[in-house]
Amino acid sequence: MPIYNYIVLAIILFCIGVIGVLTRRNAIIIFMCVELMLNSVNLLLVAFSKMHNVEFAVTNPTLASDAQIFVFFIMVVAAAEVTVGLAIIVMLYRNTHSVDVNFLNRLKN
């Protein structure tokens, strides 16, 4: 499968994410959209890694699957981040009884 398709898919996912962040006010949906953008980039990384794998296998085998491993790291870090983020949202809900980000325009009080 040509790399072109992966790129288009990644762009579509990313744009959905961006539009979601911009238009929605629900903190959880925004959070999901952020994850979507993150994962579209992951997808792109994996796809490019696969594409380059052929030539790197000849010239520099140790670099051949670096991006694949990279993506695992990103997923782990993202999982940790999601935990923290969700915890914040839970605390937010407890305090304000809402997850609408537009209520959060004040840092004071």
Partner 1 sequence: MNNTLQLVWLIPFLPLVGFLINGLGRKQLSKALVGLIGSGVILASFLISVFVFFQVKSGNIQVVTFFKFINTESLHINFAFQIDQLSSLFLLIITGIGFLIHVYSTSYMHDEESKDFAKYFAYLNLFIFSMLLLVMGANYIIMFIGWEGVGLCSYLLIGFWFTNNDYTDAAKKAFIMNRIGDLGFLLAVFWLLAKIGTVNYADVFSAVNIAKLTPADITGITLLLFVGATGKSAQIPLYTWLPDAMAGPTPVSALIHAATMVTAGIYMIARSNILFTMAPFTQSIITIIGLATAVLAATIALKQNDIKKVLAYSTVSQLGYMFVGLGVGAYTGAVFHVMTHAFFKALLFLGAGSVIHAMGGEQDMRNMGGLKKYMSITHLTFLLGCLAIAGMPPFAGFFSKDEILGAAFAKNPIYWIVGVLTAFMTAFYMFRLYAMTFLGKFRGTHEQEHHLHESPVAITFPLITLAILAVVGGWINIPQVFMNNGDKLEQFLSPIFAGSYALVAKRELAPTTDYTLMAISVLGALAALLYAINKFSKYEKVTVEETGLGKVLENKWYVDELYDAIIVKPLKKVSAFFNNVVEKSGIDGFVNGVGKSVNYGSRQIRLLQSGQVGNYVLLMVIGILILFIIQLFF
**Which positions from 3 through 42 interact with partner 1, judged by CB under 8 A?**
18, 21-22, 25
Kindly tell me the burial class for residue 6, based on how many C-beta atoms sit within 10 Å of its own C-beta (0-12, 13-18, 19 or more). middle
Shortest distance, position 100 Cβ to partner 1, whole Å:
11
Which residues fall within 8 angstroms of residue 100, CB to CB, at 6 or more apart? Answer: 25, 26, 27
Q: Are 42 and 10 in contact (CB under 8 A)?
A: no
Question: 21 vs 43, which CB is nearer to partner 1?
Answer: 21
Residue of 62, 95, 105, 109 interacting with partner 1 (CB under 8 A): 105
**Which positions from 45 through 84 interact with partner 1, judged by CB under 8 A?**
none
The residue ranges that bind partner 1 (CB under 8 A) are 18, 21-22, 25, 101-102, 104-107
